[in-house]
């Protein structure tokens, strides 16, 4: 009886090993992304928790972040519609380039470039608006010590290359903290947990 149990266990372990060896590249990539996301969340916790905000302080910050997320969603819808206007012409140009070796028309390339510039400008404006809104909420909610902790939370040399970190004002550092940490897409779930 013991031999059968050992044999069954060994067979099960062998099947498990065989099954894990047959992971598709897509499954590996998806799993790697999931693990990477865990690392991002750990890093966000590492930046947020030392600020020592209370649940009551997190709530107005979370509300501001949620309004910003809605603004981003609306912007993405508008971007999608703008890009769709180009898609048929892009498909034709790709087909002609691949099948007939025809260089894509300069006027199409100009339209694409202009559209991408316009979308980039709109995106930068949204980032600025969102950062301003969450920065205001954070500054109202946080006390002076918490603001100082946020100002010193990040290695500014990584986020403001070329800027003399020692000459940066705390509000500029907090602005970067807000943009890189509180407005990070993965921070929303963390802020929800901390505000409850």
- 151-167: per-residue pLDDT in tens? 999 888 888 888 888 88
How many H helices and E strands in the chain? Answer: 8, 0
pLDDT class of 20 with cuts at 50, 70, 90: low
Whether residue 23 is predicted with pLDDT greater than 90 in this model: the reply is no
Q: Read off the pTM.
A: 0.78
CA nearest to 183, candidates 75, 73, 62, 77: 62
Per-residue CA distances from 22 to 13, 15, 29 (Å): 14, 11, 14
Domain ranges of the chain: 54-195
Q: What is the CA radius of gyration of the chain?
A: 25
Q: State how far the Cα of 148 lies from the Cα of 164, in Å rounded to an integer.
A: 18
Place of tokens 């050992």: 6
Q: State how far the Cα of 25 lies from the Cα of 125, in Å rounded to an integer.
A: 38
Whether residue 2 is predicted with pLDDT greater than 70 in this model: the reply is no
Q: What is the pLDDT of residues 48-105, one digit of tens each?
A: 999 999 999 999 999 999 999 999 999 999 999 999 999 999 999 999 999 999 999 9
Q: Is residue 146 within 8 Å of 51, Cβ to Cβ?
A: yes
pLDDT class of 21 with cuts at 50, 70, 90: low
pLDDT at 18: 47
């Amino acid at each position: 009886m013991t031999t059968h149990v050992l044999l069954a266990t060994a067979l099960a372990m062998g099947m498990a090993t065989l099954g894990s060896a047959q992971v598709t590249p897509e499954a590996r990539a998806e799993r790697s992304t999931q693990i990477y996301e865990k690392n991002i969340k750990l890093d966000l916790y590492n930046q947020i928790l030392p600020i020592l905000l209370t649940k009551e302080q997190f709530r107005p910050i979370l509300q501001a972040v949620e309004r910003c997320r809605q603004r981003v969603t609306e912007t993405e819808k508008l971007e999608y519609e703008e890009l769709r206007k180009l898609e048929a012409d892009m498909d034709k140009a790709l087909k002609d380039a691949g099948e007939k070796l025809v260089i894509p028309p300069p006027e199409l390339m100009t339209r694409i470039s202009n559209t991408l510039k316009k979308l980039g400008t709109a995106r930068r404006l949204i980032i600025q608006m969102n950062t301003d809104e969450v920065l205001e909420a954070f500054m109202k909610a946080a006390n002076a010590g918490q603001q100082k902790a946020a100002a010193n939370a990040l290695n500014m040399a990584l986020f403001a290359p070329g800027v003399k970190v020692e000459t940066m004002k705390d509000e500029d550092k907090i602005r970067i903290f807000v943009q890189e940490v509180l407005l990070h897409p993965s921070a929303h779930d963390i802020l929800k947990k901390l505000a409850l």
